[in-house]
């Protein structure tokens, strides 16, 4: 059984790519390169209670999910005019050696307009790394039009003001004698 310092483990868990990072573990004086494959958390405290590690050799190739990062949002005309980055795939599954796992993949948004999309072919993969999905050029993200339509405030204020004036006129009904309509009934009952 291997024991891991909880503070070091929590620090590693808070950084991105925990399951894609190679660790070295010493067992009985021998150092082994390993990958974290599974993590079990306490259901009440949410603290880690068990980790499964996998040893590997130089010939090992594995499938692993790698995060996609987006850069140059400030140079994307579609986002500057109010478009939204719609991320279709936050991670992409790659096949590579454990020593060659990229920390993340980078997608460049420079020059993209509303309606444009980023496909996996637009992302440069590191050397000796292959996609597990090879039968199609799948979409990673799109630049979508904004979904909220804003109405001009001037029209709304003008309509409210007109309704308020009509309401004031309607409430001031005055009978011919200068009295209100309700007061005529009370004078008739007095006679």
Sequential DSSP letters for 81-148: TT-EEEES-SEEEEEE-GGG--S-EEEE-TTPPTT-EEEGGGSPPPTT-EES--SS--EEEEEEPP-P
Domain boundaries, the chain: 1-55, 60-148
CA 93/CA 68 separation, integer angstroms: 10
Beta bridge partners of 30: 27
Entry pTM: 0.62
Q: In whole angstroms, what is the distance from residue 141 CA to residue 68 CA?
A: 10
20-33 pLDDT, tens digit each = 888 888 888 888 88
Q: Which residue has the tokens 């986002």?
A: 79
User: What's the token pair of residue 93?
Assistant: 């599954």
60-148 to CATH, choices 2.170.120.20, 3.40.640.10, 1.10.10.10, 3.40.50.2300: 2.170.120.20
At residue 36, the 3 state secondary structure works out as strand
pLDDT of residue 10: 87
Distances 189 to 45, 174, 175, 182, 184 between C-alpha atoms, Å: 80, 19, 17, 12, 9
CATH architecture of 1-55: Beta Barrel (2.40)
The residues that bridge with 35 in the sheet, in sequence order, are 22, 54
Closest listed residue to residue 119, CA positions, set 136, 140, 135: 140
CA 75, distance to chain mean position in Å, is 20
The pLDDT, as a whole number, for residue 159 is 52
pLDDT over 80 (residue 87): yes
Tell me the pLDDT tens digit for each residue of 36-68: 889 999 999 988 888 998 888 888 898 989 999
| 152 phi, psi to nearest 5 deg | -65, 140
């Amino acid at each position: 059984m291997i024991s891991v310092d909880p503070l070091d483990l929590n620090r590693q868990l808070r950084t991105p790519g925990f399951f894609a990072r190679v660790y070295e573990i010493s067992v009985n004086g021998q150092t082994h390169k390993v990958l974290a494959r599974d993590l079990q958390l306490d259901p009440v405290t949410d603290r880690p209670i068990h980790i499964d590690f996998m040893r590997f050799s130089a010939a090992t190739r594995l499938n692993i999910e790698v995060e996609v990062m987006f850069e140059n949002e400030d140079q994307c005309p579609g986002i500057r005019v109010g478009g939204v980055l719609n991320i279709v795939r936050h991670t992409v599954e790659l096949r590579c050696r454990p020593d060659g796992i990229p920390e993340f993949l980078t997608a460049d948004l420079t020059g993209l307009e509303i309606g444009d999309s980023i496909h996996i072919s637009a992302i440069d993969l590191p050397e000796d790394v292959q996609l597990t999905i090879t039968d199609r050029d799948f979409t990673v993200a799109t630049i979508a039009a904004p979904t909220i339509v804003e109405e001009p405030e001037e029209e709304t204020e003008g309509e409210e003001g007109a309704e308020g004036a009509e309401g004031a006129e309607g409430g001031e009904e005055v009978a011919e004698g200068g009295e209100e309509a309700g007061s005529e009934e009370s004078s008739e009952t007095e006679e």
